[in-house]
Chains A and B, each alone.
Chain A
Amino acid sequence: MKQPFKRINLTMTKQTILLLTCLFSSLLSFAQEAESPLLFVETESFEETGGWKIDQQSFDVMGSSYLLAHGMGRPVPDATTIVTFPQTGKYHVWVRTKDWAPYPKGPGKFQVLLDDQPLETVFGASGSDVWQWYYGGETDIAQKETKLSIKDLTGFDGRCDALLFTTDDSYTPPQEPKVLMDFRRAQLGLTEEPADAGHFDMVVVGGGMAGTCAAISGARRGLNVALIQNRPVLGGNNSSEVRVHLMGDIDKNYYPKLGRIVDELDNGDPGNGNPDGDEYGDERKLAVVEAEENISLFLNTHVDQVEMKDGEITAVIGRNIATNQEYRFSGELFADCTGDGTVGYLAGADYRAGRESQDETGESYAPEEADNFTLGTSNLWASVELDSASSFPECPWAIQFSDEYHIDEHKADWQWETGFGNFNTITEAEQIRDHNLRAIYGNWAYLKNHKQDKYARNALAWVAYIGGKRESRRLLGDHILTQMDIENGVMYPDGLVTATWTIDLHFPNAENSQYFPGEEFFAATKHIKVKPYTIPYRCLYSRNIPNLFMAGRDISTTHVAFGSTRVMRTCGMMGEAVGFAAALCRKYESNPRGIYENHLEELVDVISEGILEVQK
Chain B
Amino acid sequence: MKIFLTFLTLTFLLGWLDKAPEEKAFEVYYPIATGDSIRIDVNMLYDKQGFPEAYFCHVKTPVCKEGLCHLLVVDLYWDLLGNFKRYELPPTAPLTKFDHEEFSEADYAKLDKILADKRSLLGENAVEDLVDGSSERVSQEVDAVTGATVKAVENTVVSGAVYSTYALWHLVNGEIAARIPGHTDSLFDQSLLEHFLASDNYRYHYYALDALTEKQYATYMPQLMQIIDRGSIFVARYALNKIPDAIYADPQWQLVITEQFPKADFTTQQLLLKRLQSVPVSGESLSILAQQLDQLSEQQLQGVLRLMIDNQASLREDAVDQIVQLVHHANPIYAEQAYKALQQLSVTHEQEKVR
Contacts and interface: CB of A to CB of B under 8 A. Distances in A.
A, B assembled together? yes
Interface of A: 99, 102-105, 121, 126-128, 134-135, 396-397, 400, 402-405, 408, 413, 501-502, 504, 509-511, 515, 524, 526-527, 529
Q: Is the interface of B mostly helix, strand, loop or mixed?
A: helix
Given A104-B296, A511-B119, A126 B331 contact: yes
Nearest to B265: A400
B260 interface: no
Interface in B159-210: 202
Given A404-B202, A502-B152, A524-B119, A127 B296 contact: yes
A446 B254 CA distance: 30
Given A402-B232, A405-B234, A104 B152 contact: no
A104 B266 contact: yes
Interface stretch (B10-18, B21-29, B141-149, B297-305): B297-305
B5 interface: no
Contact of A128 (B113, B119, B297, B330): B297
A404 B297 CA distance: 27
A127 B330 CA distance: 12
Contact of B297 (A105, A504, A515, A527): A105
Interface in B244-280: 265-267, 269
A127 B233 contact: no
A413 B152 CA distance: 13
A526 B296 contact: no
Which of B233, B266, B296, B332 gathers most chain A CB within 10 Å?
B266
6 contacts: A104-B297, A135-B332, A403-B202, A504-B152, A527-B153, A529-B152
Contact of B267 (A105, A400, A413, A510): A400
Given A510-B119, A526-B124, A527-B121, A104 B234 contact: no
B235 A404 contact: yes
B152 A127 contact: no
A424 to B, nearest CB: 20
A583 B154 CA distance: 41
B153 A126 contact: no
B334 interface: yes
Contact of A526 (B121, B202, B301, B332): B121
- Ordered nearest first, which 8 A-B pairs have the shortest CB separation? A103-B266, A404-B232, A104-B297, A102-B297, A527-B152, A128-B298, A402-B232, A127-B297
Contact of B298 (A126, A135, A396, A502): A126
B301 A529 contact: no
Interface string B316-341: 00000000000000111110000000
Interface in B280-323: 295-301
B352 interface: no
A127 B298 contact: yes
A104 B332 contact: no
A524 B152 CA distance: 12
Contacts of A99: 297
B233 A103 contact: no
B121 A105 contact: no
Given A103-B297, A504-B152, A510-B119, A127 B232 contact: no
Nearest to B295: A104
B333 A128 contact: yes
Interface in B129-153: 129, 150, 152-153
A515 B232 CA distance: 12
Nearest to B235: A404
A402 B233 contact: yes
Contact of A396 (B150, B155, B265, B301): B265
Nearest to B236: A402
Contacts of B124: 526
A271 B202 CA distance: 35
Contacts of A400: 233, 265-267
Contacts of B266: 103-104, 396-397, 400
Contacts of B202: 403-404
B234 A515 contact: yes
Given A104-B300, A400-B267, A509-B119, 6 more contacts: A102-B298, A127-B331, A128-B333, A134-B331, A402-B233, A527-B150
A404 B206 CA distance: 11
Interface string B215-252: 00000000000000000111100000000000000000
A501 B151 CA distance: 10
A504 B155 CA distance: 15
B294 to A, nearest CB: 9
Nearest to A515: B234
Nearest to A501: B152
Which of A99, A104, A408, A511 gathers most chain B CB within 10 Å?
A104
Contacts of B300: 104, 127
A394 to B, nearest CB: 11
A404 to B, nearest CB: 4
A121 B332 CA distance: 13
B204 to A, nearest CB: 12
A274 to B, nearest CB: 16
A283 B124 CA distance: 42
Contacts of A510: 119
Given A104-B296, A529-B129, A127 B301 contact: yes
Contacts of B150: 527, 529
A527 B331 CA distance: 50
A96 to B, nearest CB: 15
B334 A127 contact: yes
Interface string B110-134: 0001000001010010000100000
Contacts of A509: 119
Nearest to A103: B266
Nearest to B156: A527
B152 A404 contact: no
Nearest to A516: B267
A128 B152 CA distance: 42
